[in-house]
Amino acid sequence: MTIRLNVPYLEYDQMRMMAENFLREQQAWGKIPVRIEKIIDIQMEIDIIPLPDLLRRFDIDAFISGDLRSISIDRFIYESRSNRRRFSLAHETAHAILHRRFLEPFSFNTIDQYQQFLAELDERDVSRMESQAYCFAGLLLVPTPFLSSEFQAALRDAEAASIPIMKWRDIASDYVYTHLGRKFEVSTQVISRRVDYDNLWDVAQTERRRTRPN
């Protein structure tokens, strides 16, 4: 029998506010890069459990237990892939924040139990929870106010390096996203999506048109 959870739709701005409030509650607001492992392990008291071959055998980076007391993560990712480790942990933390009431009634701790749980869920619920967790993880690791200010600073650096940021946007994007990826300790793909969500290129273009001398 298919399990229907009826996971509600969440607006982007609603998730942004929830992510910012969570970071403030965890006393992590303004501390860049966000120390997601410290938040999980010490403040949320969720165990982080590296498992061998989780990705290779099951095509899963990480998963959170039904009781929300542990996050299992592929050992290779945990030990060797800093950016991917941080995002995978943030993704599972997002489930704990956004989907607690949907997960807690179910008892799964092992990979087999987790896969069985997913197999029984309605695909619409799985898709909604995963897309929400993906978006929320980006908001946790790259909070909007700090992304905006660092984006503007990176644009100024690009202009100082004689890169015409609006004319050669592809080149400027590589420069800016690489810089921001290092700053927030996430991949350039995460930065790219966060910049797109917040329409920062459009904001920058509007600002430059406004301040352009007549």
The predicted-structure confidence for 69-126, as pLDDT tens digits, reads as follows 999 999 999 998 899 999 999 999 999 999 999 999 988 889 999 999 999 999 999 9
Residues 128 and 153 in one domain: no
Integer Cα distance of 86 and 57 in angstroms:
21
Mark which of 119, 141, 163 sits at the end of a domain: 141
Structural domain including 194 reads 144-211
Count how many domains the chain has: 2
Residues 67 and 164 in one domain: no
Residue 212: pLDDT band (50, 70, 90) is low
Region 133-142 average pLDDT: 98
Strand partners for 72: 49, 63
Strand order in the sheet with 70-74: 47-51, 70-74, 62-64
Residues 150 and 114 in one domain: no
| pLDDT at site 211 | 62
Residues 59 and 119 in one domain: yes
Integer Cα distance of 13 and 11 in angstroms:
6
Please tell me whether the overall predicted TM-score, pTM, comes out greater than 0.95 for this model: no
Chain-centroid distance, C-alpha 46: 18
Residues 134 and 29 in one domain: yes
Residues 149 and 137 in one domain: no
Residues 136 and 163 in one domain: no
From 38-47, 61-70, 99-108, 161-170, the region with the lowest mean pLDDT: 161-170
